């Protein structure tokens, strides 16, 4: 599909997805003040996650990669009143924007932020999580996947963002030293999951690619 058609369809998808509260526009506006505005998930991925949390009846959610708090708040609004969302990030600067907006939203109290390298924080968390959203530094994706699977509830779902890497995952025959470390790590993750007999997975072509993963033995739980 030509790139302009893909962009047009993406805009069409946004235009046909429920418009969130104005606070999400405020978060998106603040994201633009950072040098990394493109990292924010946005309306379609946000509502996709929100719907997933709602239909699974999730009680506990884990997010790896907070940024300015858009996806965290999207998921938190679908949690029950006593639900909990733990989100991990290394950046005080980005997450101070997130905390400012969560503080003025009625569901913000469900969100707990833990600052520090996620590979280390993940080792300190109590299982189990019903939904895990992996959306931090790509180099660590294979490790995030393995640790998330260990923290997942039997019927839980892992969602991994950016599994297309802007299309660079298609660079299969390019020598290692000509592909970025992030591209190689995401390609490796995609292969690990595809060959992992513990799970079933489905890749979705929305935006920069989402990978949904659930335990194969979930029906026994
Ligand atoms: C793509 S953004 C997250 C976007 C957010 N989930 C959303 O959709 O709005 C990735 C975040 O991962 C954080 N990050 C990068 N390296 C990290 C690490 N080693 N541990 C935890 N977070 C990290 C960055 O600071 C950044 O805020």
CATH number of the domain where residue 20 is located: 3.40.50.150
Instruction: Note down the domain range covering 79.
Output: 3-220
67 lines ligand 1 (CB under 6 A): yes
pLDDT at 221: 61
- Ligand 1 contact via 41 beta carbon (within 6 Å): yes
The reply to whether ligand 1 has any atom less than 6 angstroms from the CB of 42 is no
pLDDT at 175: 86
Q: What is the reported pLDDT for 108?
A: 98
165 lines ligand 1 (CB under 6 A): no
Supply the pLDDT for residue 141: 98
Question: Residue 124: its pLDDT value, please?
Answer: 98
Which residues 6+ apart lie within 8 Å of 1 measured at CB? Answer: none
User: What pLDDT does residue 6 have?
Assistant: 85
- Which of 136, 141, 206 maximizes ligand 1 atoms within 8 Å of its Cβ, making it the mutation to test the pocket? 136
Ranges of residues in the chain with a pLDDT under 50 are none
Contacts 24+ apart (CB under 8 A), 77-83: 77/50, 77/105, 77/107, 78/50, 78/51, 78/53, 78/54, 79/53, 79/107, 79/110, 81/110, 83/58, 83/59, 83/110
Domain total in the chain: 1
Looking at the CA of residue 117, tell me the nearest atom of ligand 1. Answer: 20
Of all protein residues, whose CA lies closest to atom 11 belonging to ligand 1?
65
Q: How far is the CA of 194 from the centre of ligand 1 (A)?
A: 24
- The pTM score is 0.96
């Amino acid at each position: 599909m030509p790139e302009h058609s893909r962009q047009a369809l993406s805009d069409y998808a946004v235009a046909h997805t429920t418009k969130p509260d104005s606070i999400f526009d405020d978060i998106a506006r603040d994201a633009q003040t950072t040098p990394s505005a493109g990292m924010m998930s946005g309306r379609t991925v946000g509502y996709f996650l929100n719907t997933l949390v709602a239909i699974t009846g999730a009680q506990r959610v884990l997010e790896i990669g907070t940024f300015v708090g858009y996806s965290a708040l999207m998921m938190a609004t679908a949690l029950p009143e006593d639900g909990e969302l733990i989100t991990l990030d290394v950046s005080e600067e980005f997450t101070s924007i997130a905390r400012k907006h969560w503080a003025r939203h009625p569901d913000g109290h469900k969100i707990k932020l833990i600052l520090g390298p996620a590979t280390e924080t993940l080792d300190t968390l109590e299982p189990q999580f019903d939904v895990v959203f992996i959306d931090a530094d790509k180099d660590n994706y294979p490790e995030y996947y393995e640790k998330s699977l260990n923290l997942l509830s039997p019927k839980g779902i892992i969602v991994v963002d950016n599994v297309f890497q802007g299309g660079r995952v298609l660079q299969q025959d390019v020598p290692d030293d000509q592909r970025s470390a992030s591209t190689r790590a995401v390609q490796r993750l995609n292969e690990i999951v595809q060959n992992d007999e513990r799970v079933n997975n489905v890749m979705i072509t929305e935006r920069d690619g989402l990978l949904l993963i659930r335990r194969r033995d979930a029906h026994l739980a």
